[in-house]
Structure 1
């Protein structure tokens, strides 16, 4: 049978269409799967859309050779292509079956435009990003991207998101500096931002915004800077005048807040600098921001940072650490003069005021029966062979054996009733009526730039930082790591670090069941992601020296060359984060409880209470610890407690987050791990290890004993070691004399002065 040419062509076309439909149906599953992956994440592929006669099938094919839009589809003949799902097979698609061909870059641009048109700019930018990476020169890309940036900036502006809108215009300027309407848009949005901040009296924001616009849009013919320059100068002058009126009315701190607005507006003004200097020292009062204050008559301890800070002012400590020297710590006392004989076996204290009876009173205290290691004088009593008063003003203490650091034994706190044996140069006084401060100290003796110190307690970190920026406080102590960049970038603010690292640990309550269950304490250690918490939560992603996870409560120092790290055994690695092991230990312990006939041992709790101080680091860390322990089967309830509440026994807890200062490990390990010390009753191996430390006659023997004690503490887990941090303080730049690394906050306070300049 012979077919006519026309009929033959028709039959061939029908056959081909049938095959194309079959091919299309065959790739539907692949196309559906590909549809789950956004186009901008897929490998390049063009789209051939067939006409209605071929069921409008859509064929994903490998990129076609002709990349000209509109010309990729042939007008006659066939289109030779390879399906993306079957690249090894070449197919021929009749031109008469093709409705259109969409190139990959054309599809990306269409999707970007469609998303931008409906206001989904985040989705649009994903497509624009792929175009920018692979098809930057594609026709229409630059225009479409510029329009999207401009349209979103307008939308953000209409929604009141001025900062976001301005950032988009900066991106537009970088991408297309001559985009139509850009100059006008910057002027309108810049004015809106500046007016809003001016009305809110955010003068620092006004200045920063004006400077940022000048920097980010350099080269554009803007009138914004010229218009606002005069307004800023006038505003600074008005703020200075307002501050002067407040100061004349005796409202010094309020005057400082207003004057800080003048600084923000005109940071290089000599008039403002002089005003600030005068206001900052007008009352002779130093204003310090803290997270908590010491309780009245509190005894300084390793775990009471507020009390230790206050003791530098009011005294009550036989000796204070002043510096670290190659031969050991340097100590001083307000009571008089400290001396050690050449054999390091005799310690003497010569009192400045013989009539005070300090020598006799201290002798009486040292001759009392020895108490628990929680008594700061316990170790000095234990090592003393004899105590005698020479004349009326000198106390002589003969030690049982030569001691590597006799002066360190004297770095002990006195009970409140005997604090006047070593009085400080300051006293705690009643606050003036109407004062916003929490505590006030006034100078009794000596000289300095300030005659009073007032501490202001902050519970909100942002509020404290705002007070620092407004110069309502001279100093903010305990600035958390994640705020250091902000503080460093604040005009007129400087940073300093304390010399002594802070050790963060979880201490056990004397009656908690955890004391009897070492396997549960190990579960707690394994259940806390200490490395991650330190890096992500405490450090906030910053990389800072001196921060490290601990395997026991001993300082690692601020660097490898720090002499303070002599008690830390680097060969003992901190236990890793093992949540499965933690859950397994808890499950096994509870199973053992259920099977045990003897109920004398306290059962493993399913829930515990974790107390913590009101500091930013402790709050953030304890929230993370609560979530981590909850995930392994130990429910945690958080409670915030001050030093005073803890000392008075008014807080019930199982664990408490403690920020410990170990200034001289040789003596402080006794106060930490000794019988009745911070860690509680110690095991026989711990007692033996401590005995080797306190009876060591040489520095070398002491170091070896301390590193052995590290192993014992690691195994016993009388407390849960977390990490070491370095405390930062932020202060006004015109406050001089703090030094780069004071041992503690008030060590150099007698030399602090408000100076001219330095406010920038």
Structure 2
């Protein structure tokens, strides 16, 4: 070993720099080139190292050794340092201290009577070892002892946030350390008491239960008493706030977890829920006696929800349902207009199907477009797709559908091809050249060119005027009764053929999706017509609820709806789209980081299908990638658009256009609000002024002059026909683009499915560049209902598609 001049410190034989003052790495703590031997061995070692440790103030680090004094207290920053022990040297040897790498001690315990030399390596002095005599070491402060000391001091001072990271390191690195279990218990107990004093009951209970799981023997009676008392306080708060669902879940869990302990709070709240349930049952019986079946139904269900085991509870519900079956449907959007074929209004489409039938009703998607049901009979199309036949089957139909004959249908279809008629539809007029009759049950339509899906052109709403009644009168099984606040009642029009068929379907508008889910679980609602994707995943775990997915997704987009000079500029619209982090909004805000098949960002106006090669996505070009989120490019394009318009105005000697706030409208539902708030926050980062405009309840398109862009969730289920309804001059986008117009005309002239697909892909490409609409994402929507309701059906495209078959079991 190389003697460095004194008896105390020696360099280890390898690896080492043996040049006096040689650079071995690290950084300075001061200059000591001329120090004398009276400072001792540590001083000499430090002096040798300092010249090569200078790296400037900008790279200053912690001091890892010194000739005198004590290390500076570092607090939580200690955990950012490399684990180390601290050696303190005797005054006789020259004093000082050094932070050294963890010493290799048997069991990490200091020897009782150490002798000889201790070999160590100073922190930040790489590849060099030193040795010192044990009798010149005054004290060794082990790393784990420092951690324990820091932890105990913080616990004693009530700094539980500060103690936690030190305790965590001890648990991770020294799990068998003597006294650690008691320290951990002390931490949990004292932290629970501290949180209770601050009123954080939920966190208090969490700490107490963690303590109970970790060390059941620790202060057993005190901990159980605290758990009971804290549970009681939480239950009181939940019940007072009307959060009975959460209160019952908490009580059930506590009762299960502490079944052998008989906590006082368990008995108290079981008795309280029984008392509340009994009171509701009495109210239900009183209402039933008064033949107020609506209130009786509500009270009976609330009674069973409060105490599922209450005697006679389910029997009372069944009795009321037999007398007056009623279904409550939770909705996020109430309908104010009723149009079963509306593509941009979910509520209108849903409730419209309850009140009206359509001549052709879409039932789902098949390998070649939509599958349609002709409500008056059957249809057939010739092999060359030039003749479309409709065969009426009155003998199989119920009234009033059995009143329709071929002569009346021919007149209706003829009017649909005449521009001066209210039911005029240009695509049908362009497709038909003649309508003939072959008796009272057969209508024959001659087409101008082959059409792949002529029935899609005849989705006519069938109203009462078809049967001699009032124009606009309903033709479904139900009629709108009254609107009372957030309730819309629909009553059965005819005497039911089955006693368990609902006499009423009541739509209950709910402010938020989370509240709707809670009401469904409590029995206040029987059906939810539209779920947040994340809620659908959670509800599938419930034994009392069925969750199903609508087979056809909705396409969400932003549609320009004013003459705002900047929004009308496609370069500016491209900038707006680049300025939306669509992937983050979809996955973070709407899906809540959950994966749901079919939910994805899209690049065009048509559905992309549920999976790769899905026939439903026949109009979607998978090769066109959605534009990425590029905020810098977004701002650049907005600036370029402004400069272009300014130069055009100067060339024409006109006043340059001024940027005005962009008004972003959205329907009054939770999902649209969340999405638009996120979009607004990202457009604000483009230095744009954006105003949110919530549309009136039931409305999905703003009045003229009230908004510039509207958020639309469109049911583009049949692109071959919906393309014009969405993109045409009379459609939602009101596009005047010649390229879009040409694409629509070419689509309507397609003679076979290959041409249809090719021209839809062309239209997708055109809209990607022209941006008559700004595509956002595709969502797969779900519905849920309680298992007592049967006949709802699977793969329904609209909630009330099978409403005539609903039964309360």
TM range (shorter): 0.7 to 0.9
CA-CA distance at 1:273 after TM superposition: 2.6
Residue 353 of structure 1 is matched in structure 2 by 403
Alignment of 1:536-685 (within 5 A): 536-560=588-612, 562-596=614-648, 597-598=650-651, 603=657, 605=659, 607-642=661-696, 645=699, 649=703, 652-685=706-739
Q: Does 1:180 align with 2:231?
A: no
Distance in structure 1 (CA, Å) of the matches to 2:632 and 2:689: 16
CA-CA distance at 1:404 after TM superposition: 0.9
- Bigger drift between 111-120 and 63-72 goes to 63-72
Residue 153 of structure 1 is matched in structure 2 by 192
Alignment of 1:509-528 (within 5 A): 509-514=561-566, 516-528=568-580
Is the 1:24–1:57 Cα contact (8 Å) retained in structure 2?
A: no
Aligned residue among 442, 445, 455 for 1:407: 455
Is the 1:495–1:731 Cα contact (8 Å) retained in structure 2?
A: yes
Distance in structure 1 (CA, Å) of the matches to 2:662 and 2:265: 60
Aligned residue among 506, 510, 518 for 1:458: 510
Aligned residue among 726, 741, 751 for 2:795: 741
Is the 2:452–2:752 Cα contact (8 Å) retained in structure 1?
A: yes
Instruction: Point out where structure 1 has 5 or more consecutive residues left out of the alignment.
Output: 6-10, 756-760
CA-CA distance at 1:249 after TM superposition: 4.5
Residue 330 of structure 1 is matched in structure 2 by 371
**Cα deviations by residue, 1:136-157 (Å, 9 ceiling, x for unpaired):** 1112221111111122222333
Residue 132 of structure 1 is matched in structure 2 by 171
CA-CA distance at 1:194 after TM superposition: 4.3
- Bigger drift between 271-280 and 167-176 goes to 271-280
Distance in structure 1 (CA, Å) of the matches to 2:381 and 2:97: 97
CA-CA distance at 1:536 after TM superposition: 0.6
CA-CA distance at 1:32 after TM superposition: 6.3
CA-CA distance at 1:633 after TM superposition: 2.8
**Cα gap change, 1:656/1:376 in structure 2, threshold over 3 Å: closer, same or farther?**
farther
Distance in structure 2 (CA, Å) of the matches to 1:155 and 1:248: 54
**Cα gap change, 1:508/1:54 in structure 2, threshold over 3 Å: closer, same or farther?**
farther
Task: Please state whether the residue corresponding to 2:801 is helix, strand or coil.
Answer: coil
Is the 1:673–1:679 Cα contact (8 Å) retained in structure 2?
A: yes
Distance in structure 2 (CA, Å) of the matches to 1:139 and 1:676: 80
**Cα gap change, 1:640/1:280 in structure 2, threshold over 3 Å: closer, same or farther?**
farther
Distance in structure 2 (CA, Å) of the matches to 1:31 and 1:138: 28
Alignment of 1:684-723 (within 5 A): 684-723=738-777
Alignment of 1:189-338 (within 5 A): 189-194=230-235, 196-197=237-238, 202-216=243-257, 236-249=277-290, 252=293, 254-267=295-308, 271-280=312-321, 282-296=323-337, 300-315=341-356, 317-326=358-367, 328-334=369-375, 336-338=376-378
Query: What is the TM-score with the length of structure 1 in the denominator?
Result: 0.86
Task: Please state whether the residue corresponding to 2:104 is helix, strand or coil.
Answer: coil
**Cα deviations by residue, 1:627-679 (Å, 9 ceiling, x for unpaired):** 11111233221111147656672661111000100121221112122333222
Q: Does 1:437 align with 2:487?
A: yes
- Bigger drift between 714-723 and 671-680 goes to 671-680
**Cα gap change, 1:545/1:638 in structure 2, threshold over 3 Å: closer, same or farther?**
same
Is the 1:242–1:255 Cα contact (8 Å) retained in structure 2?
A: yes
Distance in structure 2 (CA, Å) of the matches to 1:31 and 1:413: 80
Rg larger in structure: 2
Task: Please state whether the residue corresponding to 1:534 is helix, strand or coil.
Answer: helix
Distance in structure 2 (CA, Å) of the matches to 1:53 and 1:261: 83
Distance in structure 2 (CA, Å) of the matches to 1:261 and 1:242: 10
CA-CA distance at 1:539 after TM superposition: 0.5
Distance in structure 1 (CA, Å) of the matches to 2:533 and 2:801: 22
CA-CA distance at 1:395 after TM superposition: 5.2
**Cα gap change, 1:195/1:653 in structure 2, threshold over 3 Å: closer, same or farther?**
closer
**Cα gap change, 1:444/1:256 in structure 2, threshold over 3 Å: closer, same or farther?**
closer
**Cα gap change, 1:320/1:488 in structure 2, threshold over 3 Å: closer, same or farther?**
same
**Cα deviations by residue, 1:589-614 (Å, 9 ceiling, x for unpaired):** 22333444235798473531110111
**Cα gap change, 1:270/1:406 in structure 2, threshold over 3 Å: closer, same or farther?**
farther
Is the 2:604–2:764 Cα contact (8 Å) retained in structure 1?
A: yes
Is the 2:369–2:616 Cα contact (8 Å) retained in structure 1?
A: no
Is the 2:369–2:718 Cα contact (8 Å) retained in structure 1?
A: no
Task: Please state whether the residue corresponding to 1:83 is helix, strand or coil.
Answer: coil
CA-CA distance at 1:485 after TM superposition: 4.4
Distance in structure 2 (CA, Å) of the matches to 1:84 and 1:682: 73
CA-CA distance at 1:377 after TM superposition: 2.5
Is the 1:359–1:393 Cα contact (8 Å) retained in structure 2?
A: no
**Cα deviations by residue, 1:471-508 (Å, 9 ceiling, x for unpaired):** 22221222112333443455633322212201000011
**Cα deviations by residue, 1:81-125 (Å, 9 ceiling, x for unpaired):** 332122444455677876643211112222222333333323322
Is the 1:479–1:727 Cα contact (8 Å) retained in structure 2?
A: yes
**Cα gap change, 1:670/1:201 in structure 2, threshold over 3 Å: closer, same or farther?**
closer
Q: Does 1:15 align with 2:66?
A: no
Instruction: Point out where structure 2 has 5 or more consecutive residues left out of the alignment.
Output: 1-5, 7-35, 65-71, 393-400
Higher relative contact order (CA 8 A, sep 6+): 1
Residue 559 of structure 2 is matched in structure 1 by 507
Q: Does 1:480 align with 2:532?
A: yes
Distance in structure 2 (CA, Å) of the matches to 1:209 and 1:461: 22
Residue 379 of structure 2 is matched in structure 1 by 339
Distance in structure 2 (CA, Å) of the matches to 1:381 and 1:398: 12
- Bigger drift between 401-410 and 237-246 goes to 237-246
- Bigger drift between 637-646 and 691-700 goes to 637-646
Is the 2:599–2:780 Cα contact (8 Å) retained in structure 1?
A: yes
Is the 1:73–1:79 Cα contact (8 Å) retained in structure 2?
A: no
Aligned residue among 428, 434, 439 for 1:386: 434
CA-CA distance at 1:582 after TM superposition: 0.8
Q: Does 1:30 align with 2:58?
A: no
Distance in structure 2 (CA, Å) of the matches to 1:692 and 1:315: 33
Distance in structure 2 (CA, Å) of the matches to 1:707 and 1:674: 17
Is the 2:85–2:99 Cα contact (8 Å) retained in structure 1?
A: yes
CA-CA distance at 1:317 after TM superposition: 3.4
Residue 425 of structure 1 is matched in structure 2 by 476
Residue 43 of structure 1 is matched in structure 2 by 82
Q: Does 1:398 align with 2:446?
A: yes
Is the 2:560–2:568 Cα contact (8 Å) retained in structure 1?
A: no
Is the 1:508–1:719 Cα contact (8 Å) retained in structure 2?
A: yes
- Bigger drift between 381-390 and 655-664 goes to 381-390
Distance in structure 1 (CA, Å) of the matches to 2:141 and 2:622: 64
Q: How many correspondences in the alignment? A: 743
**Cα gap change, 1:452/1:487 in structure 2, threshold over 3 Å: closer, same or farther?**
same
- Bigger drift between 490-499 and 132-141 goes to 490-499
CA-CA distance at 1:128 after TM superposition: 1.7
**Cα deviations by residue, 1:295-340 (Å, 9 ceiling, x for unpaired):** 2465842112222112212226332112334455332244x23523
Q: Does 1:162 align with 2:217?
A: no
Q: Does 1:494 align with 2:494?
A: no
